[in-house]
Structure 1
Amino acid sequence: MGVSELEPAVKSEIDCTFAEQRRYAIHLRGSDYRQRLQVLDRFERVFKASYEKLYRAAAADFSKPETEVDVTEILPILSELELVRKRLKRWMKPKSVLPALMVMGTSSKILYEPRGVCLVVSPWNYPFNLTFCPMILAVAAGNTVVIKPSEMTPNMSAVIEEIIKGTFEQKEVAVFQGDSATAGYLTSLPFDHIFFTGSPEVGRHVMAAAAKNLASVTLELGGKSPVIVERSANIEKSADTIVFGKFSNNGQTCIAPDYLYVESSIKEEFVAALKRSILRLYGTTEQLAANPDYCRVVNSRHFIRLQRLLDNAIENGAEVVHGGLHISESRLIEPTLLMGVSDELDIMQEEIFGPLLPLIEYHDLDQVIDDINARPKPLALYVFTAKRAVSEKIIRQTSAGDTCVNQIALHYMHPHLPFGGVNNSGLGKTGGRWGFEAFSHQRSVLEDKFSGTALLYPPYAPRVKGLIKKAMRYLF
């Protein structure tokens, strides 16, 4: 469905809401930190009262276990709220700027002013977290917000809408459900900032739409995040960490490991450790279907896509060393390890976003670094090693959105680290202070006190020319 196919009544409602929010955004420019926190306090009360609805919706959409909802959906939201509560006053404070020789006699500062009306387009893999965290930061920065949740998780999106409507007036935060037609129409409007989380492919369309209105964007995208396991790594701990980071949420995580390099001298031992870890965390093939702690693929379309990637790999020589079971009726795909994958296979070209993990044996770390650098820059890069020189070399010689050493995805949970991609994996950072700044315009303000600029006005008599030449000679 294209933008032109959106129903006129929906268009009209969106237009009216957008106009109302533009008017209210001007009023919010004068809001202080107490007023913004009061709004977020309202949200927190409604959100905390909705936990049971969150659990039921996540289970209904893709069998997401309650504990994973707690850890990956609820806790990040509570952490963001707590950080904003503690730091917002400091973040909003104008930043004084030191004087400079060229502008002696002036005072300067940087103001963090709201961007205005912001659009948050959120994904289906962590709908609550990746809707409400950017919304919290946008509200903290003094903006109005329009939210477009994913249609792929209808139960979770319905709860998102219920929470928003139970908390905010339409002029503060509004939500519009729908498919790509709704998203397409929303991104065509002249928002002051668009925050999009999703695939690089769709991110390009969002950025192109934003460019027509010269709207700023934050793009939290994805890509193929590699893991390097060097021979000095702790085998058992590394295997457990990677298995949990990869197969949580059934691999449907933008910063999940996408493929893994393992040094040849530890390959057999490490593959065996991965298998043991999968059995320990998720059970045998027979136990998996009844395991309440193992999520499912979100829908049939994505299940078929993953099945195609697996079948294509096997048909072209890849070996399944663990797993491979897939049951279409329940959208269940077993945690699957593959060896013997070549770079031309679809599974090595597309972002997997599911419970399939290609393993690549390596002999030369420099070749691994070259291979990674030959690909688009990933959202995350993971290194497992006991040698600081190895991790520092990899970090220094590659580029990625973010990196963990001997850990997977934990950087996202750190409230004092910026999170985001680079180039193909994203534009801009979010989380904490960086998210507040993404939704703020940094406005420079200079006030003249007793500057000598009048001495430099034309006509450019010899005295004026002499002053300029002396400044160039003695000050720089």
Structure 2
Amino acid sequence: MTDDHEIRRSVEELRLTFKSGKTRSGDWRKAQLQAILRLVHENEDTLFRLLELELGKHPVESYRDEVGVIKKSADHALACIDQWMSPKKGRLPLVFFPASGKVLSEPLGVVLIIGSWNFPITLTLDPLIGAISAGNAVVLKPSELSPNCASFLANVLPSYLDPKAVKVIEGGREVANRLLEYKWDKIFFTGSPKVGRIVMAAAAKNLTPVTLELGGKCPVIFDSLPNSDLKVAVKRVASGKWGACAGQACIGIDYVIVEHKFASTLIEQLKKTIKRFYGDDVKNLKNHSKIINKNHFDRLRSFLEDPAVANCIVYGGSFDDTSLIIEPTILLDPPLDAEIMNEEIFGPLLPIITVDNIEESVEFVNSKPKPLALYAFTKNENFKKRILAETSSGSVTFNDAMIQFVCDDLPFGGVGQSGFGRYHGKYSFDTFSHEKAVLERSFYFELEPRHPPWSRFKLEFLRAAYNYNYVGMLLLFLGLKRVSKS
């Protein structure tokens, strides 16, 4: 466990590094991004092995959701960083002529990034790419619940990245609490709303800006579809629920809303797809991750120990305590007051809620806290418009699930209890930057109506100026319009 002295020494060294101006250099930023690319390329097989050991992820899943994401994100930042760093011209009112305005993006300083265990590489290195692109010095705190990946980052990262500007600090809750006692220029946290509140309370003591990437019960609204579209949609739901860390994903599908008359069709198609994707033997499931630890495993099992909930299981429900595997499980209309319908599931249990008319799904979604993501499978354009207009969520994806996470030109982030702030691509750069306004004027042409002594003439001149009435200003200035002096 990291002690207080080591934390203090690390933070002090980072502050000295940032103060030196080293991290502001475009060349330094590019060198660090290229180093991240080398890290994931040269250690790809090691990462596959660690992610399989930690979470039971298949190498294909690990590449899709972890290694490939980091390569894509770093490549995108390298391609765009010169443009991101360039000053942006700002338009100024004509009344200030001659003058110029621009916006400079400057690094915030020394930032703290607290990662999560379910995607232990992506959810630490992806925000790190944004922080480095913006020119910051960084402390990276990986999750102690994925200790093998945390140790890998702590041991390997310093041999690739500038160790005086990027530091990895391992440890559990005590270390995280000690880190939160320091004054940071930014805190970026990925995790649960419960811990997010602790992070925000600690940050408030120093007025530290925070980005909170939390979670929530992400719904799927499943409209009736023709058979050809149904098969495609069900594959996307099955992957979005069970194919990403066995449902242990903040943007993973939590529950599905469907019309009564269409529910049996959906369930039968889901059963067929589950068997094809993952098999039907809990001890020999393929392409399916395990639950991170015994505590999370027991929490998920407790959802089904409620007899009223257990009676709703229409597929699956088996557990393997030894391997911490829970098979894909479907429940039909569990009680709405049950724990499974009021806590984020974060596992391979899928409640299906039926309604008389799919339009009722909007009210159902709005009865719960705002989710990080909302998914809707429908071809009804008017219904899409209603979903967009009448619901609030971090993102909305029509006719697919989870793919929004890998789109660099779309912001990723929550709203309400699902978090706030955004990142990915340019949004990551902006999250770790301060946009500084710069205005420069000449000494020529002084606008006297801005200075005392006041008069009716000056009032009318300023009124015209604020209304962008440049013709009126000119007439007033030239004295061609009578104005009674006060």
**Shared fold, TM over 0.5:** yes
Q: Which moved more, 1:394-403 or 1:314-323?
A: 314-323
Question: CA–CA distance in 2 between the matches of 1:396 and 1:228?
Answer: 15
Name which of 287, 293, 296 aligns with 2:290: 296
- SS of the counterpart of 2:284? coil
Superposition deviation, residue 187 in structure 1 = 1.6
The one-letter code sitting in structure 2 at the alignment partner of 1:346 is E
**Counterpart position of 2:236:** 241
**Counterpart position of 1:85:** 78
**Counterpart position of 2:32:** 39
The one-letter code sitting in structure 1 at the alignment partner of 2:296 is H
The one-letter code sitting in structure 1 at the alignment partner of 2:284 is A
Question: CA–CA distance in 2 between the matches of 1:115 and 1:64?
Answer: 36
Judge conservation of contact 2:283–2:320 (CA < 8 Å) in 1.
no
**Counterpart position of 2:458:** 464
Judge conservation of contact 1:116–1:144 (CA < 8 Å) in 2.
yes
**Counterpart position of 1:3:** none
Superposition deviation, residue 387 in structure 1 = 1.9
Name which of 254, 257, 266 aligns with 1:261: 257
Question: CA–CA distance in 1 between the matches of 2:40 and 2:468?
Answer: 62
Superposition deviation, residue 453 in structure 1 = 4.2
Q: Which moved more, 1:135-144 or 1:163-172?
A: 163-172
The one-letter code sitting in structure 2 at the alignment partner of 1:247 is W
**Counterpart position of 1:277:** 273
The one-letter code sitting in structure 2 at the alignment partner of 1:133 is D
Per-residue CA deviations over 1:90-124 (Å, capped at 9, x if unaligned) read 01110001122454432111000000001100000
The one-letter code sitting in structure 2 at the alignment partner of 1:383 is A
Judge conservation of contact 1:29–1:114 (CA < 8 Å) in 2.
no
Question: CA–CA distance in 1 between the matches of 2:73 and 2:335?
Answer: 41
Question: 1:81-230, aligned counterparts within 5 Å?
Answer: 81-101=74-94, 103-230=96-223
Superposition deviation, residue 28 in structure 1 = 3.1
Q: Are 2:381 and 1:385 aligned?
A: no
Judge conservation of contact 1:261–1:360 (CA < 8 Å) in 2.
yes
Question: CA–CA distance in 2 between the matches of 1:201 and 1:187?
Answer: 15
Superposition deviation, residue 167 in structure 1 = 1.6
Superposition deviation, residue 171 in structure 1 = 2.0
The one-letter code sitting in structure 1 at the alignment partner of 2:236 is T
- SS of the counterpart of 1:365? coil
The one-letter code sitting in structure 2 at the alignment partner of 1:299 is N
Unaligned runs of 5+ in 2: 471-486
Q: Report sequence identity in percent.
A: 35
Q: Which moved more, 1:167-176 or 1:112-121?
A: 167-176
Judge conservation of contact 1:17–1:170 (CA < 8 Å) in 2.
no
Superposition deviation, residue 455 in structure 1 = 3.7
- SS of the counterpart of 2:417? coil
Residues 467 and 181 of structure 1: CA distance in aligned 2, closer, same or farther (over 3 Å): same
Judge conservation of contact 1:28–1:142 (CA < 8 Å) in 2.
no
Residues 160 and 470 of structure 1: CA distance in aligned 2, closer, same or farther (over 3 Å): closer
Q: Which moved more, 1:231-240 or 1:209-218?
A: 231-240
**Counterpart position of 2:393:** 400
Name which of 246, 258, 261 aligns with 1:250: 246
Judge conservation of contact 2:32–2:162 (CA < 8 Å) in 1.
no
Per-residue CA deviations over 1:310-355 (Å, capped at 9, x if unaligned) read 212x435641100000111211101000012121100010000000
Superposition deviation, residue 461 in structure 1 = 4.4
Bigger-Rg structure (1/2): 2
Question: 1:301-316, aligned counterparts within 5 Å?
Answer: 301-312=295-306, 314-316=307-309
Superposition deviation, residue 472 in structure 1 = 5.7
TM normalised by structure 2 equals 0.92
The one-letter code sitting in structure 1 at the alignment partner of 2:234 is A
Judge conservation of contact 2:308–2:334 (CA < 8 Å) in 1.
no
Superposition deviation, residue 371 in structure 1 = 1.6
**Counterpart position of 1:22:** 15
Question: CA–CA distance in 2 between the matches of 1:50 and 1:411?
Answer: 26
- SS of the counterpart of 2:111? strand
The one-letter code sitting in structure 1 at the alignment partner of 2:100 is S
Q: Which moved more, 1:461-470 or 1:326-335?
A: 461-470
Judge conservation of contact 2:117–2:146 (CA < 8 Å) in 1.
yes
How many residue pairs get matched? 466
- SS of the counterpart of 1:39? helix
The one-letter code sitting in structure 2 at the alignment partner of 1:296 is K
